[in-house]
Structure 1
Amino acid sequence: MQTQNVSVWPFVAAMSAIVVASNILVQFPFPHFGLQDLLTWGAFTYPVAFLVTDLTNRRFGPTAARKVVLVGFAIAIVLSVWLATPRIAIASGSAFLVAQLLDVAVFDRLRRNAWWQAPLISTVIGSLVDTALFFSLAFAAQFAVLDTGFGLEDGSLGFPVPFLWTQVPLWLSLALGDLVVKIGIGVAMLGPYGALLSVLRPAPAVR
């Protein structure tokens, strides 16, 4: 048990670093290719959290994976309060906890299927839930009570921008762009996940 606990700590450290970085980067639109109204830098880093959770789940099982999620959440939320705004911290913490625990449950249910199914399906479902919770809590006007002084770049809680031939709040367009990138990177993470299958074999207790 002691060896297993020691082995889990690199996953905890990786999870904490990813979430803190994402909390900061989500406040900055991605300025290239005209995507500043659709995408933030945080979309490129956060999906790696699902890879960390899934690798922990594969190696040590769902109980250890939940511990990594909870410890990573606790460390990250404290740092996020200091590094980001209170509203971002609340939104990020809520979305992270729900999405990652859902990822653990879905992965565990599918772990005996084809090697790619558990990480892919759990990541897609987790990304959908995370995006919906985070962007609604962080940017939607109806949740402004969480931090009335926080908004997007210009201090607003969103403004109409052209997208899909209609007018939608900026946070909705950011959420859609964020989700597309998260799923795309989640699919890309199947590469390192597959490469590590022979290294991080399931422990005897979780086979």
Structure 2
Amino acid sequence: MGQKKWSKVDAYIAEKLLPPDAVLAAALAANAADGLPPIDVSPPQGRLLNLLVRMSGARRVLEIGTLGGYSTIWMARALPEDGKLVTLEFEPRHAAVAKANIERAGLSGKVDIRVGKAIDNLPKVAAEGMGPFDFVFIDADKPSNPQYLDWALKLSRSGTVIVLDNVIRDGAVIKSKSGDASVEGARVGFDFFGGSLRLDATALQTVGSKGYDGLAIAIVN
């Protein structure tokens, strides 16, 4: 087993379960053309986010880490007509690409892109009364996970689903002294989920076109 086989299996999953989608393909192409890092969720992971939003009956979604808007499109498509998704992106160039991708997908009316440091924009989102959110997806700089999770909980209600991506780090999450800030951020995420009486959580290891990683998922009590 290795990366080549994992990618082939991901391709098989997509072939069998995910019909061709010109809008999503165009978003990935635009991201690549503009030089964005190829760190979007995979198509099966995007569908998972879409299903989780639908299963939770979410009407308000908060995304921390937009990149080019690929995951944003997956989640926004799952919202009802009056649903809203607020997504936070630090890099203006990434946000501009995301804006174009979201417009192409016909979702501009549902998506509010906020540009700048998420840790600065989250208090503004709270002050504007945009919460509580029904679903929160965190996929941004890992060292800031403690702050992002704290705000996710503040902006949640009973029943809110919180998903934290990239928590396995190729297995390095088990290293207590890795010296890697992203690994430390993942470990703090586990401590946060495991140490909060307000949350019931689990985590899943994943392999696929994005390598060996995983996500943590929690529901607010």
- Greater strand share, structure number: 2
- Greater helix share, structure number: 1
TM-score, normalised to structure 2, is 0.29
Larger Rg: 1
